[in-house]
Amino acid sequence: MANVLKMTTAATIQSLRSAGLSCREIARRLGIDRETVSRRLRLAGEPVSKPANAPIFPAGAEAALAGFEPPTDPNDPSAAGVAPPIGLPAGRTSDASPWLAWLLEQLERGLSIKRIHQDLLVEHPTAAAVSYDSVRRLLKKHGAARPVPFRRIESPPGFEAQVDFGTGSPVIAPDGRRRKTHVIRVVLSHSRRGYSEAVFTQSTDDFIQCLENAFEHFGGVPRTLVIDNLKAGVLKADWFDPELNPKLEEFCRHHGTTVLPTKPRTPRHKGKVERGVAYVQDNALKGRSFTSLAAQNEHLQAWERDTADRRIHGTTRQQVLAHFNETERGTLLPLPAARFENFHEARRKVSRDGHVEVAKAFYSVPPEYLGREVWVRWNGRSVRVFNDRMQQITMHAKHDHGRYSTDPRHLDPTKINGLERGIAYLLDKVRSIGPQTHAWAEAVVDARGIEGHRVVQGLLSLTKKHTCAELERACETALANQCYRLSPLRQLIVHEADRQQPLEFLAEHPIIRPLEDYAAVVARAIHRRQSRPSMGEGFGSHDTGIHKDHRPAGVNLQGDGGECLWSGYRSSGCSSAEPDSCSPDTPSVAPDSSP
């Protein structure tokens, strides 16, 4: 139920208004809302607003105005002191009014209000009490704060395109799920021809794909792209030197264009596309919903073709498509031969085996980057590795999960096995040993196939212990006998070495007895053993083990006196070192001393 004022309250409002009080003051005094006072006055047909500092005349003041004439020139300093007759309160005047003409003259010179106030205090000592705020308010009242109009900037054909995102129509799936969409608008600044596309996200991949679709729609590439500081394109906003997304920079290099972000929080720097986004939202998408994103994009394509391109633009006063075909189509940069390969990008650390992992596959890098972090970019066909300065250091073809891609140039020479280098490399190393060794190695490969590769590798390892001459002689013998295994070759090398080495232990030496003496000692020992058959009893554990049936033929076992010869001494137990010592096999008394 609406509030109804009492008659006394309404009459009080009328009387206070007649006294010259403002609506705010009437509401304060009566304790009611100011809008209530304003509504009551409007219903009574009285003006609601009143000039500030309106004079409140006492009773009979109208008669005092008779004969009063205001000065003809209100800006005349001499008239500043002219006031209404006594009893009439004058309106508020500025302390700087006497110097108004001088202040406006300084303002025309382009000086700031701060500078004008400083000069006023210096050049006019009588204005020492004038404050800065008084000067500012007075100049503002006379138009000093008039805004400077913006300057329109028109771009030459093919030079600029402006890009911006807006809210698209919702996508409602058959199951009732509702998804929000974004619509991108790309407008050529000269002809005002545009391109629109709806996406679910404003990611870098979607942004780049929409830009490339717009270029194909125009049939060429503009030289510059004006965008705002969205995260998909600008990592760090800076009017003078912004940091762009590396993927967007690569896209621009591919198409030969340049991205110029606007100043932060300054949408007027791309005013053509700002209005273009609103045009798409109001004319093409407002009040609509779609069952899929593809359906919305089909509608936008038809709308661009049938409505947006055929309209007469409000600024150029020409049909958009006709103006584009006549002046701008031929000035666009040509499209590249292939579309931009959209890629993924991430940092990776080089593992101990010199590879980086990308999408569950592994790719080698130069050995100097071991343990360091690198940038990796990959798409469906290739993997590229960059250093911190975004300089490409290697490139690989894309592989499936679990596969390794190793460039031979990335391997340290000490880690390359001879088998990896191939049999030709091994045979070339064998050739340096000698012709016989090389011929034997070739014969091994021909006879044993792949198994012979390791045999040749084993042949090369023999050079660490044997000379080339020894290998040459052994290989010559093995080749003559068609022996293609490594074990017999090693035996041949040892045998040849033994044949060539002199037997130093057979040489004559002053402290070594001749071999004939040792033969005579053995013969006498055998003869003595055979002439004492009873010695086997009780001392069998010291038997020499020489049987008479195994005695050497032609050995004289009898000495000159019929005694047993063992070592040329009287007792068989005496050694050559101690002739008088006896062995346990002989009795302590000589045989000829028995009774």
pLDDT of residue 146: 61
Highest mean pLDDT among 7-16, 104-113, 496-505, 555-564: 104-113
Residue 48 lies in a domain: no
Of 499 and 21, the one with more pLDDT? 21
Same domain membership, residue 278 and residue 132:
no
pLDDT of residue 533: 58
pLDDT of residue 508: 58
Mean pLDDT, rounded, for 412-418: 66
Contacts of 50 (CB under 8 A, 6+ apart): 20, 22
Residue 62 lies in a domain: no
Residue 246 lies in a domain: yes
Residue 292 lies in a domain: yes
Mean pLDDT, rounded, for 341-370: 91
Percentage of the residues of the chain whose pLDDT score is greater than 70: 76
Whole-model pTM: value is 0.48
Highest mean pLDDT among 5-9, 46-50, 520-524, 542-546: 520-524
CATH of the domain at 166: 3.30.420.10
Could you tell me the CA-to-CA distances from 252 to 212, 257, 531 in Å, in that order?
Answer: 10, 5, 116
SS3 category, 99: helix
Structural domain span for residue 272: 160-331
Structural domain ending residue among the three candidates 115, 144, 173: 144
Q: Using alpha carbons only, give the angle 72, 73, 74 rounded to the nearest 5 degrees.
A: 110
Please check whether residue 182 is in contact with residue 199, taking contact to mean a CB–CB distance below 8 angstroms.
Answer: yes
Residue 153 lies in a domain: no
Of 89 and 340, the one with more pLDDT? 340
pLDDT digits (tens, 9 = 90+) for 431-490: 989 999 999 999 998 988 888 888 988 898 898 888 898 889 889 888 888 888 888 888
Phi-psi region of 150 (alpha: psi -120 to 50; beta: other; left: phi over 0): beta
Residue 188 has pLDDT above 50, yes or no: yes
pLDDT of residue 563: 42
Kindly give the residue spans of alpha helices, DSSP state H, lying in 395-539: 418-421, 423-431, 435-448, 451-461, 468-480, 486-500, 515-531
Q: Residue 524: which of 478, 492, 557, 549 has the closest Cα?
A: 557
Structural domain ending residue among the three candidates 307, 331, 355: 331
Reported confidence tier of residue 551, pLDDT bands at 50, 70, 90: very low
pLDDT of residue 511: 66
Residue 518 and residue 451: Cα distance in Å, rounded? 53
Contacts of 381 (CB under 8 A, 6+ apart): 341, 397, 398
Same domain membership, residue 295 and residue 226:
yes
Q: Residue 5: which of 48, 46, 41 has the closest Cα?
A: 41
Same domain membership, residue 191 and residue 275:
yes
Same domain membership, residue 305 and residue 214:
yes
Helices 100-108, 113-123: crossing angle, 10 deg rounding: 130
Same domain membership, residue 545 and residue 575:
yes
Mean pLDDT, rounded, for 44-60: 54
Residue 62 has pLDDT above 50, yes or no: no
Same domain membership, residue 363 and residue 271:
no
Same domain membership, residue 318 and residue 177:
yes
pLDDT of residue 304: 96
Residue 70 has pLDDT above 90, yes or no: no
Reported confidence tier of residue 4, pLDDT bands at 50, 70, 90: low
Mean pLDDT, rounded, for 518-525: 83
Reported confidence tier of residue 216, pLDDT bands at 50, 70, 90: very high
Kindly report the number of other CB atoms within 10 A of residue 162's CB atom.
27
Same domain membership, residue 380 and residue 326:
no
Kindly report the number of other CB atoms within 10 A of residue 27's CB atom.
19
Same domain membership, residue 485 and residue 527:
no
The b-or-e profile of 408-445 (16+ CB within 10 A means b, else e) is: eebeeeeeeebeeeebeebeebbeebbebbbebbbbbb
Residue 60 lies in a domain: no
φ, ψ at 258 (rounded to 5°): -135, 140
How many domains does the chain divide into? Answer: 6
Highest mean pLDDT among 47-51, 66-70, 122-126, 408-412: 122-126
Find where tokens 């002989």 sit.
586
Same domain membership, residue 172 and residue 320:
yes
Structural domain ending residue among the three candidates 415, 443, 460: 415
Residue 464 lies in a domain: yes
pLDDT of residue 565: 40
As a residue count, the chain comes to 595
Please check whether residue 107 is in contact with residue 144, taking contact to mean a CB–CB distance below 8 angstroms.
Answer: yes
Least confident of 29-38, 394-403, 432-441: 29-38
Residue 79 has pLDDT above 70, yes or no: no
Could you tell me the CA-to-CA distances from 506 to 12, 292, 514 in Å, in that order?
Answer: 153, 105, 9
Residue 581 has pLDDT above 50, yes or no: no
Same domain membership, residue 255 and residue 304:
yes
Same domain membership, residue 350 and residue 313:
no
Residue 545 lies in a domain: yes
pLDDT digits (tens, 9 = 90+) for 232-267: 999 999 989 999 998 899 899 999 999 999 998 888
Residue 287 has pLDDT above 80, yes or no: yes
Least confident of 10-19, 294-303, 367-376: 10-19
CATH of the domain at 381: 2.30.30
Query: In the 8-state DSSP scheme, what is residue 152?
Result: P
Average pLDDT, the chain: 80
Residue 556 has pLDDT above 50, yes or no: no
Residue 330 has pLDDT above 90, yes or no: yes
pLDDT of residue 417: 64
pLDDT of residue 147: 63
pLDDT digits (tens, 9 = 90+) for 165-184: 999 999 999 888 999 999 99
